[in-house]
A and B are shown apart, each in its own frame.
Chain A
Amino acid sequence: MQLAGSRFTDATAMLGNDLATLPDFPAEIRAPAGTLHGVSAFQIHFASRDILTPGDHPNVLVAMNPAALKTNLAALEKGGTIVANEDAFTDNNLRKAGYQANPLEDGSLDDYQLFRVPMTTMTVRATEGIEGIMAKDQQRTKNVFALGLLSWMYGRPTEITVEWIEKKFAGNPGIRDANLNAFRAGYNFGETAELLAVHYEVKPAPVEPGTYRNINGTSATAMGLIAASVKSGLRMVYASYPITPASELLHELSRHKRFGVRTMQAEDEIAAAGMVVGAAFGGSLGVTASSGPGLDLKAETIGLGVMLELPMVIVDVQRAGPSTGMPTKTEQGDLMLAMYGRHGESPLPIVAAYTPGQCFDAAIEAVRIAVKYRTPVILLTDTFLANSSEPWRLPDVSQIPPIDPRFATGPNGEDGAFLPYLRDENLARPWAVPGTPGLRHRIGGLEKQHETGNISYDPTNHALMTRLRAEKVAKVADDMPPLEVDHEDGAEVLVLGWGSSYGSIRAAVRRVRMKGRKVASAHLFHLNPLPHDLEEVLRSYRKVIVPEMNMGQLVKIIRAEYLVDAESVTKVEGLPFFADELEAAILEHA
């Protein structure tokens, strides 16, 4: 089903509709088909105006079996359309999904527009007699049948999908033909069957001129990192340990040998971070990624990075916790971990991406800060960003500013001495890589003497170094542009967000305004340090509302930093905010 969903996404984007998607797939890799936890759904939302959230309630649900119906029905808007594969509503499947009676027959779906389509039968018939095709393969193409049906219902062009099928299965003519037949059968069924009386037509949305592509957060992150490698001239060394949902980044980057990307699958999360520190010491752009459980394990090594003051980037694709939690479900639960999850006074810059395409800019920004200030930087994304896609307007690569590694090339002290902790105007120390004559030095996790970098247990020196490390991180705010506030005259309420809830917040704010209420919103890209002007912005509103997919983490920081009585709106269901939920919350507080 994931495959069918992403095809539909591509076809939709090509047509010029704006879109956002939310894949919602089960954690178990091969959950038994038909059981509730084995349901794979793919929600897509498209419209002629810009789409901000895939959350909200969909208008149509394609239920391939009773379990899919049961799991997703709650999300469907009242009066929405259900297209059900009636062949799959067998006694056995109904029992597995926990239905006493067949919902297609017992009137329980009367509030919806229900279409029963014998998809399995029709698919099998459409794919009969193709050479080299087994019954199992025939069955499998029913998702493509459904895709054909939806393509007709929503007036999606068929060429893109047909071309894609031809390319994808070029090496296997039997499978290719089965998929093509199933797709056309679904499309034609929609066209001819009187059953489907509704035919939606969606007009293209007006968008900014430029070259676009569909991109998900994982690919955008990978491309941002590659762009940063090209723009800095630094070789990228990416080490990670497989973990959902961050493994996708390893897969993606591993394909880009052409850009000299060196990927390593480490023996564990700790080793991945260690390899990155080693690579950074050697003058490479060291990057590792993980999700919450892995970030826990990397904490010690990141602390070493803070002490060594070497550039590196740690991507945390957040997922629902604690512990193993819900690996495939999204959450913003790691902000406190990123901020404070190391022993001692161990500050580091934190950047949070807020849309799938914007992960590109976020990755470049993380590298820029890391290199300029010689520090580990944590880049927060989440499952939702990583897996969702949106049309992304390609940046002009010649306009992406270069990143200068400023390697140390010669002694910086008296009499040809080299002082590894002599800081520049940004409080950053020299990056002197092994192999450079005249700059031999030793660094380590022990406290350093100011400038010389020798081991020091001196009390005042430790106080000084602790302060310098903190000041250096605070300096990152000097580079930030003023916080963008979507203000409205007369607004007394500010909605302040971070990360992937961007789309939901903007959509909710728009709805609130449509109801005639005044509200402003702002979204934080940098979470540490916070922008210089944030306090002033916060103080210019009577009320500040902070929606987060956690139990209220940014709100704690805001309250602690500025003594502003911000209100928290939280959701921890493993799902993004729906715009209507946020709308209600804002209306309540505003």
Chain B
Amino acid sequence: MSTNGHTNGHGTPLPMTKKDFSSDQETRWCPGCGDYAILATVQSLMPELGVPPERTVFISGIGCAGRFVYYMDTYGMHSIHGRAPALATGLAVSRPELSVWVVTGDGDSLSIGGNHLIHALRRNVPIKILLFNNQIYGLTKGQYSPTSEQGKVTKSTPFGSQDHPFNPLALALGAEATFVARAVDTDRGHVADVLRAAAQHKGASFVEIYQNCNVFNDGAFDALREKEPRKRNMIMLEAGQPIRFGEDNERGVVHRPDGSLEIVDVADVGEEALVIHDPEHRDPSLAFALAHLAERPIGPTPVGVFRSVSRPVYAEGLYDELEEARNSVGDEELHELLTGGDAWTVPAA
């Protein structure tokens, strides 16, 4: 049982609750923002993970998502634009007993902080990265972001943007991420499932959460958030299961002869033809193809865990060795170090 360190007076530890992880700070997002749902999910999930709040750290960058840390009653740092993965790396490596989470947005992690994101993923640093993707710059009031669709009309692109957007999951997979997943903000149960898996993963986990910015990009994820369309479009990935979806599970995903993926009617191909989801496959090809199945979240779109493989965690083991070394040195060793190999003595005259 997870506890909050308090007891009930009989010496029995009390279980931790959502309250233990919720700070007294007033939330300042716009009413209706998707961030509220994610915050509530995370606060409720935390007690269940078994890590007390004082050993949990949230680090964010700049953007609306950055404020997340103020609302978690854990240790936290609202850092600078794009740098959270680098900061989290420094912390996680020097304090491996902590549970370190990064909260970031599409501008923060894919534009100004792109370099830190990919390197944290390739190193497989033990941190959990939550990317709130709203496909827009919210805090700076509505410029297009690196995940906005090409042609997006915003204040900075009155004639439509020229940029081809990033596919965040494909990018993470390309950066050798070992855990890659996606969820939709309002799907609280599913977000919790995905985050639970992310928390249990050893190494870096990367979770893209589609987050509605109802002020500057409202409706970007309606295909997955609205009651009727979501029945048609949500492709729930489940390990070991054939990939199928639709109101009556009537549609599915198959491999074309060239290896690429295609959406078909199950009735046309038969259930045996469907692709079985395998996030633990060493080869990221299927995960990559699934990431590209929906270039934009406007039609059938996979969510869930795309990839979850094990690879050595950055600097695992080194910490203990270094701590042991550090605790066994003192003045004597220091003197030896300073003396070096080539010292000489000048005697008093």
A residues bordering B, Cβ < 8 Å?
A: 10, 13-14, 16, 206-215, 223, 226-227, 229-230, 235, 237, 239, 256-262, 264, 266-268, 270-272, 274-284, 286, 300-301, 304, 308, 394-395, 397-398, 433-446, 454-455
Q: How far is the CA of A279 from the CA of B57 in the complex (A)?
A: 13
Q: Describe A's contact surface by its main secondary structure.
A: mixed
Tell whether A276 pairs with B53 under 8 Å between CB atoms, given A394-B343, A442-B69.
no
A108 to chain B, nearest CB (A): 41
- Contact in complex: A257, B321 (CB < 8 Å): yes
Q: Does B11 sit at the interface, judged by CB under 8 A?
A: no
B132 to chain A, nearest CB (A): 17
Q: Does B44 sit at the interface, judged by CB under 8 A?
A: no
Interface residues on chain B, size class = 35 or more
18 contacts between A and B (CB under 8 A): A10-B342, A14-B342, A209-B346, A210-B345, A213-B342, A213-B343, A259-B334, A262-B318, A270-B116, A301-B83, A304-B79, A394-B335, A397-B331, A434-B57, A435-B97, A440-B53, A446-B78, A455-B70
B79 to chain A, nearest CB (A): 6
- Residues of B298-332 contacting chain A, CB below 8 A: 315, 318-319, 321-327, 329-331
- Residues of B170-212 contacting chain A, CB below 8 A: none
Residues in A neighbouring B54, C-beta threshold 8 A: 434-440
- Contact in complex: B345, A212 (CB < 8 Å): yes
Q: Which residue of B has the minimal Cβ distance to A455? A: B70
Q: Does B73 sit at the interface, judged by CB under 8 A?
A: yes
- Contact in complex: A209, B349 (CB < 8 Å): yes
Q: How far is the CA of A455 from the CA of B315 in the complex (A)?
A: 35
B314 to chain A, nearest CB (A): 9
Residues in B neighbouring A211, C-beta threshold 8 A: 339, 343-346
Beyond the given pairs A223-B337, A271-B119, A274-B86, 16 more chain A to chain B contacts, judged by CB atoms under 8 angstroms and listed by A's residue number, are: A206-B349, A213-B340, A213-B342, A227-B338, A235-B94, A239-B90, A257-B322, A275-B89, A278-B91, A281-B75, A281-B90, A308-B77, A434-B55, A434-B95, A442-B76, A445-B80
- Contact in complex: A278, B75 (CB < 8 Å): no
Residues in B neighbouring A284, C-beta threshold 8 A: 94-95
Q: How far is the CA of A454 from the CA of B92 in the complex (A)?
A: 25
Q: Which residue of B has the minimal Cβ distance to A260? A: B326
Tell whether A260 pairs with B346 under 8 Å between CB atoms, given A440-B53, A442-B78.
no
- Contact in complex: B322, A435 (CB < 8 Å): no
Taking each of A212, A435, A439, which has the highest tally of chain B beta carbons within 10 Å of its own beta carbon? A435
Tell whether A278 pairs with B334 under 8 Å between CB atoms, given A237-B94, A438-B54.
no
Q: How far is the CA of A308 from the CA of B77 in the complex (A)?
A: 9
Tell whether A223 pairs with B323 under 8 Å between CB atoms, given A275-B87, A435-B95, A436-B54.
no
A351 to chain B, nearest CB (A): 20
- Contact in complex: B325, A258 (CB < 8 Å): yes
B204 to chain A, nearest CB (A): 14
Residues in A neighbouring B55, C-beta threshold 8 A: 434-435
- Contact in complex: B93, A237 (CB < 8 Å): yes
A270 to chain B, nearest CB (A): 6
Q: How far is the CA of A233 from the CA of B346 in the complex (A)?
A: 32
Interface residue from A208, A223, A275, A279 paired with B346 (Cβ < 8 Å): A208
Q: How far is the CA of A239 from the CA of B75 in the complex (A)?
A: 23
Q: Which residue of B has the minimal Cβ distance to A205? A: B346
A215 to chain B, nearest CB (A): 8
Q: Which residue of B has the minimal Cβ distance to A284? A: B94
Residues in A neighbouring B345, C-beta threshold 8 A: 209-212
Residues in B neighbouring A259, C-beta threshold 8 A: 325-326, 329, 333-334, 337
Q: How far is the CA of A229 from the CA of B318 in the complex (A)?
A: 18
- Contact in complex: A258, B346 (CB < 8 Å): no
Tell whether A271 pairs with B95 under 8 Å between CB atoms, given A239-B90, A437-B5.
no
Q: Does B59 sit at the interface, judged by CB under 8 A?
A: yes
Residues in B neighbouring A271, C-beta threshold 8 A: 83, 86, 89, 115-116, 119
- Contact in complex: A443, B329 (CB < 8 Å): no
- Contact in complex: B86, A275 (CB < 8 Å): yes
Taking each of B5, B53, B79, which has the highest tally of chain A beta carbons within 10 Å of its own beta carbon? B79
B104 to chain A, nearest CB (A): 13
- Contact in complex: A398, B331 (CB < 8 Å): yes
Q: How far is the CA of A270 from the CA of B83 in the complex (A)?
A: 8
- Residues of B19-78 contacting chain A, CB below 8 A: 23, 25, 52-55, 57, 59, 62, 69-70, 72-78
Residues in A neighbouring B335, C-beta threshold 8 A: 394, 397
Taking each of B324, B326, B331, B349, which has the highest tally of chain A beta carbons within 10 Å of its own beta carbon? B326
Interface residue from A206, A226, A278, A286 paired with B337 (Cβ < 8 Å): A226
Tell whether A267 pairs with B115 under 8 Å between CB atoms, given A239-B90, A260-B329.
yes
Tell whether A286 pairs with B346 under 8 Å between CB atoms, given A281-B77, A301-B83.
no
- Contact in complex: A266, B70 (CB < 8 Å): no
